Structure 1
Amino acid sequence: MDTVQEQYAQTEEEKHTASAQVHVLDEHFRMPELQTERRIWLYLPADYKALDKHYPVIYMHDGQNLFDQYTASHQEWGVDEIMDERFYHKSCIIVAVDHGEESRINEYYPFNSEENGEGRGDAYTSFLVNTLKPFIDNNYRTLPSAQHTAIAGSSMGGLITTYAALKYPEVFGNAGVFSPAFWIAKDIYSFAENLNTLQNSRYYFVCGDAESDDMVGDMQGMAAIVQSKVVDKKQVAIQVIPGAGHNEQQWHDDFSKFYVWLQEAFNS
């Protein structure tokens, strides 16, 4: 499989920043649940070809913004550089799905409302669970259990991450919830309150205190609900970053801490 650098011809105007471990799995991966197709990115550990071992997996949203500055809307997260530089010997597979541009909010919105219309988040999470994850598990050396599977995203991606982890705790045992857009979907709170299946789930909540007036309180409110459902409150980490705004720089800066937190599940 070619790297992003090899797949996309570079010119002076077109500089891709993805590391050698990043590949485009498919430019047009079918999403039958949404009746569309989407680019899927794949980060493979540096030792994937050399070692016959199986790896944990993180599923992420907004794939355009994670690895490559050329495709990023603003600034990339730089997830690949973080993994290459800090976690070479304890890496994982990362699968990232591009957002749907103008349909992004709709696909990451899991409910129906008069204000936002019919959300397609349920279909999107069904795609992750019923189409994408089985494909990845069948074609790559993964550790497929919930304990070794995480889902992560920011803003609307943080909202749909929370929804997916709440609805499918038997699939996604770990969730990285960065700056979640709970303000747009207050139904997420009652949805969480009505669940009794989260005993073994693990959540990492993080936001900056300079994002909005409601961000910290909204996030802490969801974290409290989840803490009331799990076996041990330590399964829920809550981070509020002083002075941090709602942007890729914050998410880049905290991704390493999130991944260190993941190791407790991944290595057990």
Structure 2
Amino acid sequence: MRWLAVLLAVFLAGCVTSQGTKADMGRFVELEQVAAAGLPDQRLSIWLPPGYDSGTRRYPVLYMHDGHNLFDPAKSNFNKVWAADRAMLAAMASGKVQPHIIVGIWAPGADRYRQYLPQSIYDAAEGTPRAAMEAMTGGPVMSRAYLDWLAGPLKQRIDRDYRTQPGRESTTIMGSSMGGLMSCYAFLERPEVYGRAGCVSSHWPAADPRAVGEANPELIALWDGWFAARLGKPDGRRLWMDHGTATLDQYYAPYQQAIDARFAAQGWAEGKDYRSEVYEGAEHEENAWAQRLPEIFGWLLSER
């Protein structure tokens, strides 16, 4: 029945798009050259939901990596986007999800890999996985500084400048590929800040899969130990994970299966505390993520 839910969400988003006014679609705020300690200047694309400017209510906040690929094809890397605003409108129309503020954090160009590679995984890696990561870094890993900024100054700024619900149950972080790894990193390292996370097509090889090798046992053990040490009990938190089966996503299943087993071993209930989905034939690209984003929002952001 999952495909019916996805089709309904997309239909609802199309209805809003074709019939709504510009005000009904929400409003964007663009912030360029945002200073962040230890990082290149950052850029933000912020979406404020319909009704924000005419009311006094406070909103949950969804932070998303690769902000340039979320909303406007003209600003994207590949002329295709997640259509995160449309997916949010569809989730809102379903009645199951509160309107959210979406904060899109642009990736810093060539520094993206260094900014999204979890520092603790990089530090713990040895042998082939470490060599494969070293071949791609091109400089010091910056994800710890990025997380410090995300969970500290950036969140403080958003909570100060916008009418937010600042608690962890109302704060979600999401990304795909390396952004999926970064979202899991934030979720595990800052459980007091992020109550929900979406780790979409997470790039578990953490480097070129051809250099790591398929189902690398060292890397599988590294991820398992990483989650075992940090995951803890659900404690009201919620996590979405998924992958396709084509292009880069074809390499992810062995890692994801080990991680799923770890969640079960730690007492997380599938369907309640976490979900791990496989999309047959789905590729590693924005159109595939856009297609399933209404389903992700509908579960991850819904009120219990």
Same fold (TM over 0.5): yes
Map 1:33-52 onto structure 2 (within 5 A): 33-34=38-39, 36-52=40-56
Q: Which residue of 1 aligns with 2:81?
A: 76
Q: Deviations over 1:10-29 (max 9, x none)?
A: xxxxxxxxx95342341111
Alpha-carbon separation, structure 1, partners of 2:48 and 2:132: 40
Q: How does 1:1-268 map to 2 (within 5 A)?
A: 21-34=26-39, 36-74=40-78, 75-87=80-92, 90-110=98-118, 111-112=122-123, 113-117=130-134, 118-184=140-206, 186=219, 187-195=222-230, 197-200=232-235, 201-211=237-247, 212-230=249-267, 232-233=269-270, 234-264=272-302, 267-268=303-304
Instruction: Quote the Cα distance in structure 2 between the aligned partners of 1:213 and 1:85.
Output: 29
Aligned match of 1:12: none
Give the number of the structure whose residues are more often helix, by fraction: 2
The code of the aligned residue for 2:289 comes to W
Partner deviation per Cα, 1:124-159 (whole Å, 9 max, x = no partner): 111100111111111111111111111100001001
Q: Secondary structure at the match of 2:42?
A: strand
The share of aligned pairs that are identical, in percent, is 30
Q: Does the residue aligned with 2:56 lie in a helix, a strand or coil?
A: coil
* Deviates further, 59-68 or 176-185: 176-185
CA offsets per residue over residues 55-74 of structure 1, 9 Å max, x none? 11111100110001011111
1:153-173 Cα offsets, whole Å, 9 max, x none, are 000100111111111111111
Moved more, 214-223 or 42-51: 214-223
TM-score (norm 2): 0.75
The alpha-carbon deviation at position 228 of structure 1 amounts to 2.9
Q: Which letter does structure 1 place at the counterpart of 2:144? A: D
Higher radius of gyration, 1 or 2: 2
Instruction: Identify which of structures 1 and 2 has the higher relative contact order when contacts are C-alpha pairs closer than 8 Å and 6+ apart.
Output: 2
**Alignment partners' CA distance in 2, 1:82 and 1:143:** 21
AA in 2 matched with 1:127: W
**Structure 2 vs 1, CA of residues 127 and 226 (structure 1 numbering), >3 Å: closer, same or farther?**
farther
Paired residues of 1:67 and 1:80 also in contact (CA < 8 A): yes
Q: Secondary structure at the match of 1:73?
A: coil
Q: Deviations over 1:81-128 (max 9, x none)?
A: 222355256310111110011000111012244442442111111110
Q: Give 1:245 shift.
A: 0.9
Partner amino acid, structure 2, of 1:251: W
Instruction: For residue 227 of structure 1, report the CA deviation from its aligned partner.
Output: 3.5
* RMSD value, Cα: 2.1
1:154 aligned partner, one-letter code: S
Pick closer, same or farther for the CA change 1:20–1:188 going to 2, 3 Å.
same
1:170-226 per-position Cα deviation (integer Å, ceiling 9, x unaligned): 111111111001111734432211125342221111111224443122223223323
Secondary structure of 2:201 counterpart? strand
Kept in 1, the 8 Å contact 2:174–2:199? The answer is yes
Q: Give the distance between the partners of 2:266 and 2:141, measured in 1 at CA.
A: 26
User: Matches of 1:189 and 1:101 in 2, distance apart?
Assistant: 30
CA distance in 2, matches of 1:255, 1:246: 14
Contact 2:197 2:238 in 1 (8 A): yes
Distance 1:196 1:213 in 2: 25
The letter of the residue matching 1:209 is T
Aligned residues: 247
